[in-house]
Amino acid sequence: MPSFIEKIGKLFKKQDTYRPSQTKPAEKPANPAKKAPSIPQPKAKVPPKHATHRGGRNRNPKDTNQPVAEKTPRPAPQPRKIAEPWNPATFQVEPKEGKTRFQDMNLPIDIFHAIADLNFQYCTPIQAEILPLTLAGKDMAGKAQTGTGKTAAFLLGILTRFMNSKQEAPKPGTPRALILAPTRELAMQIRDDAEKLSTYTPFHTIAIYGGIDYDKQRRMLEEPVDIIVATPGRLIDFVNQGVINLREVEVLVIDEADRMLDMGFIPDVRKIIYKTPPKENRQTLLFSATLDDEVMRLASAWMVEPGKIEIEADQNATKLIDQQVYIVTDDQKFALLYNILKKEVVEGTALIFTNRRDQAERLSDALYRYGIDSEMLSGAVAQNKRQRILADFKDGRCKLVVATDVAGRGIHVDDITHVINFNIPSQPDDYVHRIGRTGRAGKKGISVTFACEKESFELPAIEELLGKRLPCIQPEPEMLVLPPPVRKVPFRESRPPARGGDRSGGRPPPRRSGPRR
């Protein structure tokens, strides 16, 4: 009896391809006829090996008989929101001395329609000064603090330029405008503002940043895009892989250049800029909280005869913030924070800043023990959770957030009543950015700073930047009384602390050479 292997061998020796339907013997015809001689059929031509590459795609379609499919032209992009014909006369703003109205800027009607929906009536100082120059195509370096409206200033310039110039349909992964931001929170905020201002235009904005699924962002870039807002690291990854093409960038914006310097991003920014057209063939805008010599050297290297506009902190806006400094010891700070939250921040919302991630974690845990619920924002928090916390904070579902500086820069909420510096920042600019989260949109705010024996030496540099002395006060004795805790310490899954100093987020230690033992 033949073995199984022999049966399989006989099947493969047959000239016809084996099919399960052939296993059943065919029925013989009733009147068998003489078998006709077989006529050899001509073999199909096989294309030479050099005609294809490893992907199997034919490099020279003319060498085959296969018809080449014609590319279907991409339909022209349409506005995301189709509205009834809109009359600008329905949005009239009364002239006011010393103020510039948006309707005086000669903006395209589709952009002005979005401005009316947002009820933007008068330009901020940075918008009034820089918009006419950017609309004229001039490179500009602007000094402006957070909350001065600089984001809308460069977005309005970009969108107006696009509306006034007729270009081909947008291409996948090939932006006409590139905006660089130091943090993912700021990148998301800029993208959200761009979508609001471009509601009635066909322009599409994408934010690219680390911390979320790489393939998901890659799929987003398969669609046509006009504006890309990105952090440097993730953008370089996509550029190196050919997913993003920066050779057609018309406008380049570098936001918070001082923060780029502090975070060590300038080498990455330099690589990105070299991938864009020469500075003579693009418009470049740079914004920073300070325009010192180092920032201006960058501006001169990347821009053509840049104009310079410095908008000092709005004195009226500063007056809206009541800046309080409490003189306490390090072990008294939490008791004072507890009583401020319980007695002063009752109906409002508070944003508490620490200098490091581990400090934010310990503070959030301590608040939980004493019956105060809060959320924490730091580099250790997953991106989807960060987005959920920011949305809850904006919508009022969350009243208290503990954050580090990097995470806190993406928080743009108009209703924050208190900003509390549990730790004094080592950089004076960070103090300005922190307190700028309150006192927004014409509302009053309170900033509270705890000056202890470990950090009070940072105050003189902050006062020098502000140009005034900060009044220091002693807390009342009852504000330093702490009740017993009411909860147990929660379990927290956290990364181990970084090596090499107190600062978190350091690079991993170098690998040891040689074989493992």
Domains in the chain: ranges and CATH:
88-310 (3.40.50.300), 315-480 (3.40.50.300)
The pLDDT assigned to 396 comes to: 86
Residue in this structure with the two tokens 């890659």, named with its chain if needed: 218
Distance, CA of 191 to CA of 209 (rounded, Å): 11
Strands 350-353 and 418-421: parallel
Query: Which residues in the chain land under pLDDT 70?
Result: 1-84, 145-147, 312-318, 407-410, 441-442, 490-517
pLDDT of residue 143: 85
Q: What is the pLDDT of residue 352?
A: 96
Residue 327: per-residue pLDDT: 95
Looking at residue 71, what is its pLDDT? Answer: 44
Given a contact cutoff of 8 angstroms between Cβ atoms, the answer to whether 411 and 351 are in contact is yes
Q: In what order do the strands lie in the sheet with 177-180?
A: 205-208, 227-230, 177-180, 251-254, 283-288, 140-143, 307-310
Q: Are 370 and 483 in contact (CB under 8 A)?
A: yes
* CA distances for 137 relative to 20, 142, 151, 198, 473, angstroms: 72, 15, 17, 20, 50
